[in-house]
Amino acid sequence: MTDIFFSYAAGDRERIAPLVETFKAQGWSVWWDRHIVPGTSFDDMIEQAISQAACVVVAWTEASVTSEWVRREALFGLDKDILVPVLLDDIELPFAFRRTQAAKLIGWTQKEQTNGDLDRLLEGIRQTLRSIRQASEPPSPGVDERPSFAVLLFDDLTNDPSLLGLADGMTEDIITHLAQNPTFFVTARNSSNQFKGGATDVREVGRALSVRYVLEGSVRKVGNNIRVVAQLIEAETGGHIWTNIFNEPIEEIGTAQDSLTLRISNAVASAAGNDNFQRILRTPQDELGPWGLLALAAASPTNNREGRERRQYLIQSAIALDPSSGVAHVRLADVLAQDIMAEFSEDPDADRKQALLEIETALRLAPRNAAVVAIAVGEMRRSISLARRALALAPITPSYVTLANVLLRAGEAEEAKSIYEELAEKAPKDLGPNHTGLAIAYCILGDYEKALSHAEEWELGSPGSYAACLLQANALALLGENDAAQAAIQKLQLTVPSFRLEQGIASLARGQGTDTARDRITAGLKLMLERERAAD
């Protein structure tokens, strides 16, 4: 995370350069160079830089006060409560920013030995940075906290001038990717860089940075491929949690780096999440903190009343321990919406109102993680808008999956399918979670052969899955394979002996937001029901 994002009008560059030097002299990192990086759009570069800053300093001048860019950046800082404005010209500020006290440095030069307004500006920045650091302070390695990481600089073993900087860039990309996930804590690159070079004892890293996991690796060239060896180590014991070898063709270095970053980050997130959850399961519930309770809630069964009630109780307990947890409010809104959609709610109107309240709270506390499924509360368009907003703020795999899920429930199967397929192409070994969405999407689109293929893959990963078996039966019946369709229902009845086709039709239809989707996802089951009734 950068300490300061400096917002200014391009024509003021020379005027703000002395302030940048002053900030750097305080030991702060500053993003202010707006020269575009080749292969990057200006919008993307600015958005990424400001979203990773702990403080937004805005230089108000005659030029910047009319700049749409500066206003947008200042609004971001104001919305995140990290805005520190400085007035360099005697001008009237835009209305939205008049309530935020600005340091007045009109006519200031770097040659001045003392300046009270400059001191107040520096103190304002210190306070903002202090509050942000306290809010994201690394958790103790207790089992009830988020998985915490330090990513050490990957060793460059390429011996190829054309690949210079690849290891460094990949390390930074992995840090950024992991840090965008609100369920993780990741130390800043500057913190882990103190261990750059030479042999490092990961237990020392863990103690120094207060993290549970250390990721290290190496990058080398093997033939026409880039090979990355990565390993995730438990810092307390020095034992391996996960290790793997990744290969990508060098044909397009940027594409290879993006693919490797995504694959490694997803694998690390999965391995650390699984290890952390096992720790949580071994801990008495009354000793767990908010993150531990949320993890237990996510693992609670949803196919029975007891499991659903336990899930809500655990999330509400997490909120009671930490009312400021935006993630907890997101989870509560989501489970309320799911219960309404599945017709499990005893008071849908009350739960709908509560879900909307939780959505608003989540948007205020955790805008990066506020892509809740609002379709069930009657706001299909808004649900998609929220998902797109969360993706723009945090362009990570979970955000893409959430958007695809929301689009799918809204009946936008074609766009949802494209997202699932793109995710599968980028990380083919991590296709499993995407089979669910692709099975439903192809069914809605009327391609029952592909729907069947993905439903079968889905069920291989989750044997006897209720929805996977239903989708298999639906597709097989529409493809004329009646005996196989009946066999799929019989598999389901091994785990749900009381199952009836009427239940399956109602269950699949409830999750869809359009008549077309409901018809196509249940047409085969309805044919089976007609034959069943005719036989009786």
Q: What value does the mean pLDDT of the chain take?
A: 82
Look-up: residue for tokens 């002053």? 22
Report the amino acid identity of residue 286.
Answer: D
Which neighbouring-strand residues pair with 86? 59, 103
**Is 275's pLDDT higher than 50?**
yes
| Residue 324, token pair as written in the block | 């400021």
pLDDT tens digits, one per residue of 215-246: 999 999 988 889 999 999 999 888 999 999 99
Q: Is 487 exposed, middle or buried (0-12, 13-18, 19+ CB in 10 A)?
A: middle
The pLDDT value given to residue 394: 65
Cα–Cα distance measured from residue 278 to residue 299, given in angstroms and rounded to the nearest whole number: 12
Dist CA 253 CA 488 (whole Å): 45
Chain-centre distance of CA 494, in angstroms?
36
CA 9/CA 120 separation, integer angstroms: 23
Q: What percent of the chain has pLDDT over 70?
A: 86
Token reading at 408: 């799918």
> What single DSSP character describes residue 285?
G
How confident is the model at residue 530, as a pLDDT? 93
- The closest alpha carbon to 396, from 186, 214, 91, belongs to 186
**Listed range (206-210, 453-457, 459-463, 479-483) with the worst mean pLDDT:** 459-463
What does the pLDDT look like over 7-64, one tens digit per residue? 999 889 888 999 988 888 888 888 886 544 444 445 666 777 787 788 999 999 999 9
* Residue in 273, 204, 191, 196 with CA at minimum distance from that of residue 232: 273
Buried b (16+ CB within 10 A) or exposed e, 245-266: ebebebeeeeebbebbbbbbbb
Instruction: Give the residue among 317, 347, 343, 345 at the shortest CA–CA distance from 331.
Output: 317
In the chain, the amino acid numbered 376 is: A
Which pLDDT belongs to residue 136? Answer: 55
How buried is residue 105: exposed, middle or buried, by Cβ count under 10 Å (0-12/13-18/19+)?
buried
CA atoms within a 13 Å half-sphere pointing along the CA-CB vector of 275? 20
Q: Give yes or no on whether 284-395 and 397-536 have one common fold.
A: yes
DSSP3 helix / strand / coil % (the chain, rounded to 5): 60, 10, 30
| Type of residue found at 38 | P
Class of domain 2-135: alpha beta
Q: Please state which of the ranges 130-139, 142-151, 314-323 shows the lowest mean pLDDT.
A: 130-139
Rounded CA-CA distance 59/316 in Å is: 43
**pTM for the model:** 0.55
Could you give the CA distance from residue 377 to residue 351 in angstroms, rounded to a whole number?
Answer: 9
What kind of fold does domain 284-395 have according to CATH?
Answer: 1.25.40
- On the CB side of 194, CA atoms within 13 Å amount to 11
SS3 462: coil
pLDDT tens string 332-356: 887 887 777 666 778 888 888 888 7
H or E element, residue 500: none
Neighbours of 96 (CB within 10 A): 11
Q: What is the DSSP letter of 212?
A: S
- The tens digit of pLDDT for each residue in 409-465 reads 888 899 999 998 888 776 555 555 578 889 999 999 999 999 999 888 887 777 777
Map out the domains of the chain as residue ranges: 2-135, 148-252, 284-395, 397-536
CATH class label, 397-536: mainly alpha
Q: Are 430 and 267 in contact (CB under 8 A)?
A: yes
In this structure, the number of other CB atoms found within 10 A of the CB of residue 365 comes to 17
Residue from 373, 362, 360 nearest 513 by CA: 373
Distance, CA of 66 to CA of 150 (rounded, Å): 42
Q: What is the DSSP letter of 140?
A: P
| pLDDT in the model for residue 342 | 65
Contact present, 154 and 170 (Cβ < 8 Å): yes
**Mean pLDDT calculated for residue range 69-76:** 87
CB 476 within 8 A of CB 486: no
Give the helix ranges, DSSP H, for 210-304: 253-281, 290-298
**Could you read off the pLDDT of 78-120 as tens digits, one per residue?**
878 889 999 999 998 887 787 778 888 988 876 665 677 888 8
What the block records as the tokens of 162 is 């054309």
Helix (H, G, I), strand (E, B) or coil at 282: coil
C-alpha closest to that of 289 among 328, 237, 241 = 328
- CB of 333 closer than 8 Å to CB of 362: yes
Q: Name the fold adopted by 148-252.
A: Rossmann fold (3.40.50)
Give me the sign of the Cα torsion angle 46, 51, 52, 55: positive
